[in-house]
Structure 1
Amino acid sequence: MTSLTESAAHRTSPAALGAFPDLFIDYCTDFDAVADFYPGDWQSRTARQAAATTAAERPADRDVLADTLLDQNERWGLDESTRSHIETLRDPDSIAVVTGQQVGLFTGPLYTIYKTITTLQLIEEWADQTGRPVVPVFWVEGEDHDFEEIATAHVLRRNKVDPLSYQPDIDANPGAVGRLALTDEVHEVVDQLDEALPPSDFKPAVMEHVRAAYRPGTRLEDAFTRLICSFFEDDGLVFMNPDDARLKALTRPLFRRELEDPQASVAQVDAASRALQDRGYHAQVNARPTNLFWLGDDSRWAIDLEDENTFRLRGTDRTFSRSELISRLDETPERFSPNVVLRPLMQDHLLPTAAYVAGPGEVSYFAQYGGVYEWADLDMPLIHPRASVSLVEGKVQKVLDKYGLSVSDFHDDLEPLFQDVVIDTMEVDVDALFSEALPQLHQTLNALKPEVEAVDRTLGASTEAARSAIMDEMESLKQKVVRAEKRQQDEVRSQLKKAHTNLRPNGALQERTINVLYYLNKYSPTLLDDLRHALHTDTSAHQVVEL
C-alpha cells in the first residue's frame, strides 16, 4: 500500500450522509447557530487559548493524579513517552486533550481509533497555539454494566459483515464490565477472528497483538487498553481508568454535591433539553436524580431519589438515607460510579482538560451540560469533533467510478440508490419513453372528450375516469418495465451491494460498525500512521480516504 498523504482524504458534508443529527451537523458547519449551548468555538485560536488558561488554573491534586496514572499505565505497557507525559501533568502549566470510549471487544468500532488519532493530532497543534505542554489522555470507560453493548466486534469477510462475539456465562447485571476477567471462551472469539481475517503479510503480527492482549484471566478493560496501546506505541498516549479508589477519593466533592442536592443537576439538564427542543434539536440525554450508580462486587445499580431523604438502588428493595450514602462515600468512594451526566464532570474535576475529542452523540449531550458544569463550579472544555471517516478500498472505488457515485450516495437503505442506478444504466430510457407517450395519450383523450360529450353530455365524466384508469395502467406498466430491467441487472445489484456493505455495513456508517483489525490485517498496522498524516484536524467535514 502506498503511504497516504493529506491530499488522500476527500471531504464531504456530514449532512450529505444522512447519518448525523442536526445538532451535530450545525455544530460542525454552522457553530454560530448553536454557540449558546457550548463554551466556545472549537476552531477558534482565541477560544483555545482561553480554554487552556482555565484548564491549567483549575484546582487539582496533580501529584496524586500522576502517581495513579503511572501505576495504571504500568499494567498496559508504559513507555518513556507516556511516562514523560504523565510527569508533565505535574506541571501546573500543563493541559490535557482528552478522549474516551467504552471497552469494546478488540477496541470496538473504528470510531475508537479515529478518536485516538484526532487526540494525538491535536497535541502539537494545541501546544503551538497555547504555548503550554499538552498531554493526550484516553479515558478507559469500563464501569458500564451493559455487557452486550461491548461484547461483539464486526469485520468484513467476503463482502459480508461477520459479527464476532465473546459469550461467557455471566449475570444480566455483571457490574462494571471492565472488571470482568476474560474466561476460556475468549479463545473461541480470538479463533473466530483468526479464521475471519484472510491470510496476509501482516496477519501474524496483528494476531500476535490480539492474543497478547486477550488472554484468560485478563480483565476486559486491561485487554482493551493493552491492544490500543500496542498499536500506538511511543506516541505518549496516557490511559486513565476512573475505576480506581484513589481517583474516586479525589472526586468525593463532586459526588457529595450530587447526593446533597440531586434535583439540581437534573434541573439544569432538563432546562437545556427544553431549550434545544424549542430550537428544533433533539435531547440526547434524559436525566433523573441521581446521576450516580452504586458499584457492588458483582453488580451496578442506578441510585434513584425516592423521596426527600431516601435513595433506592433501582430494581431492588435496598434503600439508603442521604446521611448513609454520604457516609459510604466518605468511607468507600470507589463504590460510586458516575452516569453519562457526571462522567465528563468527573473527568474534568480530575484532569486539566482543555479539549475533549467527542463523537456525534457526545457532541450532542454536551449541549445539555452547560448548566451542570456551572452547578459543579467547573468550566466545560472545548468540544472537538473526532474525525469522521470512510475508508474506501480499491475494489469499492472501482464500483463508485463505474457508476459515477460517491460515498455520500450510499445511505442506510440500498434500494433507492439501486433503482436510480438501474434507471441510469438501462438501454431503454424508461422515463423518456413514457414521458413522450403520456402527452400523446392526453392529447388523444382531450380530442375525444368533446366528441363523446356531443353524443351524451354525461359521458364526460366517464372519459375522465377512463383517463385516470389509463394513467394508472401506464404507471403500472412503467414499473413492470423497470422491475424487468432490474431483474436483468443482477451484476449491478451485486456490485452496489458489495460497496454498500463496505461503506454502510448493516445500514450504519462504516466507522460505527467495522473493527480496525480488518484493515490492519489487509493494509498493515502502519495504516494508523498513514491516517494520522492523511486526516485533517478540521473535522467539520466527513473525510473519505481511498486505500
Structure 2
Amino acid sequence: MSSPPESTVHRTSPAALGAFPDLFVDYCTNFSAVSEFYAGDWQSQSARRTAATAAAQRPADRDVLADTLLDQNERWGLDERTRAHIETLRDPDSIAVVTGQQVGLFTGPLYTLYKTITTLQLIEEWADQTGRPVVPVFWVEGEDHDFAEIAAAHVLHRNEVVPLSYDPGVADNPGAVGRLALTDDIHEAVDRLDEALPPSDFKPAVMEHVRAAYEPGTRLEDAFARLMHSFFGDDGLVFVNPDDPRLKALARPLFRRELEAPEASAAQVNATSQALRDRDYHTQVSARPTNLFWLGDDSRRAIDWTDDDTFRLRGTNRTFSESELLDRLEAAPERFSPNVVLRPLMQDHLLPTAAYVAGPGEVSYFAQYGGVYDWAGLDMPLIHPRASVSLVEGKVQKVLDKYDLTVANFQADLAPLFQDVVVEAMEVDVDALFSEALPQLHQALNALKPKVETVDRTLGASTEATRSAIMDEMESLKQKVVRAEKRQQDEVRAQLRKAHVNLRPNGTLQERMVNVLYYLNKYSPALLDDLRHALQPDTSAHQVVEI
C-alpha cells in the first residue's frame, strides 16, 4: 500500500477514549498541571537541549557499552546503519532516544511498534534541535519472571479475537523469561498463527520472518529482537539486552547504593507517590526496600530488607548480610536484577538517554521517580509519550460512516452505544413519546388527588403510591419498546460488534491487544513505513489512521 494521505489521520483527545488515567491525559494535554513531577516539558526545545547536555555526560563507560552492543546486535542481525549508530555512542557528544518493552510473543501488542516508530521519528528532530548525534535505542526487557505476561499474542480472524499462546509448561517463577530457550512447543503457536492469518500476497514473507526468529533452541529475548530487527532492519535501531555481565558490571555503583541504603530509594518513591495522591492522581508503582532481585539459575526472587538489618530472598529462608551481598555484587553482578524502580535508573546510568519514549503506564510511574533519580545522582530524561493509535480498516470505516460515529464512541462496553444507535434509528422517538405522555399522567393524577382526598384523606398516600407504580410501569413499557426494536436490529448489532471487536477487542484499546502481524499480513510489511510517514511525533493526541 502507498503512504496514507494526511487527510486519513485524525486526532482526538486521549480523554475521549475513556481508557487513560487522568495523570497521563494531563501530561499530554496540560503539562503545567503535572510539571512538578517531571524533569521538563517534553515538547520544549530548551528543555530538550538541557536534557541532551545532561545525557551526554552520563554514561558509565561508552566503550564498554559500544563493544557490548556490537556483540549483542550481531546475534540479531547487525546492519551497517546499526553498526554506525553503535559506534556513534562512543562519541562523548552523542545522546540517545530510548524506548523498551518486555519480550512479548511475536513482539506482543501493537504498542511495541508504536513505541519504536515514535523513537525513530524523534531522532532527526532531536538532532536538529540539539546539534548532537542522536541514536535510537530499544531496551529488550527479558529479566521479568512473569512468564504469563509475555507468552501470548492476539490477532483478528473474521472479526473475532484469536489468542495465540506459547505454553512449554514452565514453572511459576522460571527466572528471567528472556533467557528461556524456545522448545518444540513454539511450533504449535507459530502454526496457530499461520492458521489464523488469511492467505495474502504478503503472508509467505511475514511467516518466513516469524519462523526464522522463533526457532526451537532460540532464547525468547533473541527471538523477540530478531523479529523486531526484521521490521526495522534499515533504520539503524540499536537493541540492548541489559541481562549481560558486562552491563551489570557497569551498573554496580547503582546496585551498591541500593544495598548500602535499602530504604532510601523506596522512601523517595513513596513520598512522591503521596504527593500525587494528594492531587487525586493514581500511583502506578508501590516501592519497598529493596528494589533489586536475585537472579538464580531457576528463579528470580525479590531481595527484601528485614527489620534485623539482613536481606532475605522472598519466598525462601535464604538470608544475607549487607557485606555478603556486596561481595556477591562484586563477584557476580549478573546475579542482580533491577525491579521497576531501578530499571530506568540502570538504563540511564548505562546510556546517554536524553528522552525516553513511554507508554501511559510508564509516563505515570516516571511521575513517582523524580526523587529517586536525585538519590541516584542521575538526571531524569524527558519522557515523550509514544504514539497512541487506532487503525481503522475500510470495513470498519463503513460502519462508522453509516452511523455517523467516531473511534471515541466505542468504549469498553458496547451495550450503551448499541442502545444509542438503535434509539436514534427508530422511526418512533421513544424518549419524546414517553416525555410527552408522562406530564399528562402527572397532570391527571394531580387533578384526581384532591378529589379522592375529599372522600377519604388517607387516599392521598394511595394516590402517590399509584403514581409511583404507574411511573415504574411506564419505564418498564419504554424499555420493552426499546428491546423490541433492538430485536429487530440484528444487522445494526452485528455491524457495531464488528467495529467494536476491531477497535476495542475484548473491551480494551486495539493497541493493547492486537498483534502487528495481522495488519502486516493483510496490508504488507510496508505498513510500518507508511505509519512512520502518517503518524505525527506530536503524540499529545490519540491518532486515528484509516488504512
TM-score range (shorter-chain normalised) is: over 0.9
1:1-20 maps to which residues of 2 (within 5 A)?
1-20=1-20
Kindly provide the amino acid, as one letter, of the partner of residue 58 in structure 1. R
Aligned: 1:141 with 2:141: yes
1: CA distance between counterparts of 2:454 and 2:60? 95
Instruction: Tell me the CA shift for residue 450 of structure 1.
Output: 2.4
RMSD: 0.9
Instruction: Tell me the CA shift for residue 9 of structure 1.
Output: 1.5
Contact 1:7 1:534 in 2 (8 A): no
Cα offsets for 1:469-518 (capped at 9, x unmatched)? 11111111111111111111111111111111000000000000000000
Normalized against structure 1, the TM-score is what? 0.99
Instruction: Tell me the CA shift for residue 146 of structure 1.
Output: 0.4
Aligned to 2:41: 41
Aligned to 1:152: 152
Contact 1:263 1:290 in 2 (8 A): yes
Kindly provide the amino acid, as one letter, of the partner of residue 459 in structure 1. L
SS at structure 2 position matched to 1:51: helix
2: CA distance between counterparts of 1:50 and 1:266? 27
Aligned to 1:365: 365
Aligned to 1:57: 57
Instruction: Tell me the CA shift for residue 440 of structure 1.
Output: 1.3
Cα offsets for 1:141-172 (capped at 9, x unmatched)? 00000000000000001101000000102111
Aligned to 2:75: 75
Kindly provide the amino acid, as one letter, of the partner of residue 426 in structure 1. M
SS at structure 1 position matched to 2:263: helix
Instruction: Tell me the CA shift for residue 249 of structure 1.
Output: 0.4
2: CA distance between counterparts of 1:59 and 1:281? 33
1: CA distance between counterparts of 2:451 and 2:6? 72
Instruction: Tell me the CA shift for residue 59 of structure 1.
Output: 4.8
Aligned to 2:334: 334
Cα offsets for 1:360-385 (capped at 9, x unmatched)? 00000000000000000000000000
Instruction: Tell me the CA shift for residue 308 of structure 1.
Output: 4.5
Aligned to 2:28: 28
1:101-500 maps to which residues of 2 (within 5 A)?
101-500=101-500
Contact 1:6 1:533 in 2 (8 A): no
In structure 1, runs of 5+ residues without a counterpart are: none
Contact 2:259 2:326 in 1 (8 A): yes
2: CA distance between counterparts of 1:68 and 1:158? 45
SS at structure 1 position matched to 2:302: strand
2: CA distance between counterparts of 1:60 and 1:6? 43
SS at structure 2 position matched to 1:383: strand
2: CA distance between counterparts of 1:75 and 1:8? 39
Contact 1:27 1:34 in 2 (8 A): yes
Contact 1:5 1:530 in 2 (8 A): no
2: CA distance between counterparts of 1:196 and 1:16? 32
Instruction: Tell me the CA shift for residue 229 of structure 1.
Output: 0.3
1: CA distance between counterparts of 2:282 and 2:45? 29
Aligned residues: 547
1: CA distance between counterparts of 2:48 and 2:332? 37
Cα offsets for 1:447-471 (capped at 9, x unmatched)? 2222222333332222222111111
Kindly provide the amino acid, as one letter, of the partner of residue 66 in structure 1. A
1: CA distance between counterparts of 2:216 and 2:24? 40
Contact 2:59 2:348 in 1 (8 A): no
SS at structure 2 position matched to 1:355: strand
Aligned to 1:84: 84
SS at structure 1 position matched to 2:306: strand
Contact 2:8 2:545 in 1 (8 A): yes
Question: 1:93/1:192 Cα in 2 relative to 1: closer, same or farther (>3 Å)?
Answer: same
Kindly provide the amino acid, as one letter, of the partner of residue 474 in structure 2. M
Instruction: Tell me the CA shift for residue 7 of structure 1.
Output: 3.6
Contact 2:3 2:531 in 1 (8 A): no
Instruction: Tell me the CA shift for residue 235 of structure 1.
Output: 0.1
2: CA distance between counterparts of 1:239 and 1:456? 87
Runs of 4+ in 1 over 4 A off after TM superposition: none
Cα offsets for 1:293-323 (capped at 9, x unmatched)? 0011121111000234311110011111110
Aligned to 2:99: 99
SS at structure 1 position matched to 2:249: helix
Aligned to 2:510: 510
Contact 1:6 1:536 in 2 (8 A): no
2: CA distance between counterparts of 1:442 and 1:226? 72
Kindly provide the amino acid, as one letter, of the partner of residue 233 in structure 2. E
Q: Percent identity?
A: 84
Kindly provide the amino acid, as one letter, of the partner of residue 214 in structure 1. Y
SS at structure 1 position matched to 2:92: coil
SS at structure 2 position matched to 1:170: coil
Cα offsets for 1:421-459 (capped at 9, x unmatched)? 111111211111111111111122222222222333332
1: CA distance between counterparts of 2:518 and 2:24? 28
Contact 1:52 1:354 in 2 (8 A): yes
Normalized against structure 2, the TM-score is what? 0.99
2: CA distance between counterparts of 1:134 and 1:415? 48
Aligned to 1:542: 542
Kindly provide the amino acid, as one letter, of the partner of residue 328 in structure 1. R
Contact 1:5 1:533 in 2 (8 A): no
